[in-house]
Amino acid sequence: MQLAANIVAKLEGRPTQPFRFRPKGQLSSIGPNKAVAEVMGLKVSGFIAWLMWRGLYLLRIPTFVRKCRLFFEWNWAMLFAPDIVHFGYRRTQRRSTTDAGPRRALADEAGKRAAASGDFSRFLDARPLTFAEDFQMNLSHKKLLTASLAMLVTALGYAARAAADDMASFATGGYARGLRTPAIMHKMDTNGDGMISKDEWIAFQEKVFAMLDKDKSGMLDEKEFMGPGGAELASFATAGYARGLKTKGMFKKIDTDSDGTISKDEWLNFQKKVFEMMDTDPSHKGMLDHNEFFGRGPSNK
């Protein structure tokens, strides 16, 4: 900030101000529940300094949600021991690789004798696992597998939800629900080929704008956009589409220059972006099939 102010002052021929910095203090964690601190000349160490360090760190974390999450994770770790999954395994004895020829011959001979007698116990480097050890090892494996599957399902769920909510977050949830219906797709699909082209999409949106533009000025103010008279739009599209569109939230999203009015260019540019967000299948770019239109992602053809 001061550097920017000095640059402006220099350009305007005013005197600059010298840089002065006064540190507020220092904090450093030196182990579990231990820290050292120097704040405004006051030196503190031990658990109190560690609490100060944690508190300052927590204040610097962005967003309230992350602060709460980190606070609860810290307190959970203080109260409960970490949950560690242990694999039951035994290390076999390491054998030298030098002079492998004679050793291999002896091993082959010993193997033949064991096969003849049926006694292989001398070749087992570790004792057999007891029932309790075997049960614990299998339980640990099942826990790890269950946790991995749960994490995978959760990740896939979040990914699918994020993909489905892209258009809803760009517009509104009500508009997305009113738009993604078989009735609206049927009205847009003027040639009846089961696909919505970009030209069909734009033609539909131009008709909607013309119905909203009651005074034919080419501009929509908030009164025209949200006012009564939705029956005509509901009969042309659907009542759900009209309800999802004629809201203050949609007006603000389409009014990109925030001048209190929506021009035809703003309207069409917004609707083109919605089309591009829905057009996700690279096999037929510029065309929307049923899966894309209803927010199910690209079709699996």
- Number of structural domains found in the chain: 2
Q: Count the Cβ atoms, other than its own, within 10 Å of residue 55.
A: 12
- Helix ranges restricted to H, the chain: 2-11, 47-60, 64-79, 100-117, 131-170, 173-179, 182-188, 198-212, 222-226, 230-236, 239-245, 248-254, 264-278, 290-293
- Residue 152 falls inside a structural domain: no
Maximum distance among all Cα pairs of the chain, rounded to whole angstroms: 104
- Residue 298 falls inside a structural domain: no
Q: How far apart are CA 75 and CA 77, in angstroms?
A: 5
Domain end residue (candidates: 47, 79, 111): 79
- Residue 153 falls inside a structural domain: no
Res 34 pLDDT > 90:
no
Domain end residue (candidates: 46, 79, 112): 79
Domain with 199 in it: what CATH number?
1.10.238
Are 182 and 283 in a shared domain? yes
Are 75 and 177 in a shared domain? no
Domain end residue (candidates: 58, 79, 100): 79
Expressed as residue numbers, the domain containing 28 is 2-79
- Residue 202 falls inside a structural domain: yes
- Residue 51 falls inside a structural domain: yes
- Residue 17 falls inside a structural domain: yes
Q: Count the Cβ atoms, other than its own, within 10 Å of residue 214.
A: 13
Res 262 pLDDT > 90:
yes
Are 284 and 180 in a shared domain? yes
Quickly state the pLDDT bin for 164 (edges 50, 70, 90): very low
pLDDT in tens, 55-81: 888 888 888 888 888 888 888 877 776
Between the alpha carbon of residue 90 and those of residues 87, 128, 224, the distances in Å are 10, 10, 77
Residue of 188, 183, 216 lying closest to 275 (CA atoms):
188
- Residue 231 falls inside a structural domain: yes
CA 241-247-248 angle, to 5 degrees, is: 160
pLDDT in tens, 4-30: 888 888 888 888 888 777 777 788 888
- Residue 149 falls inside a structural domain: no
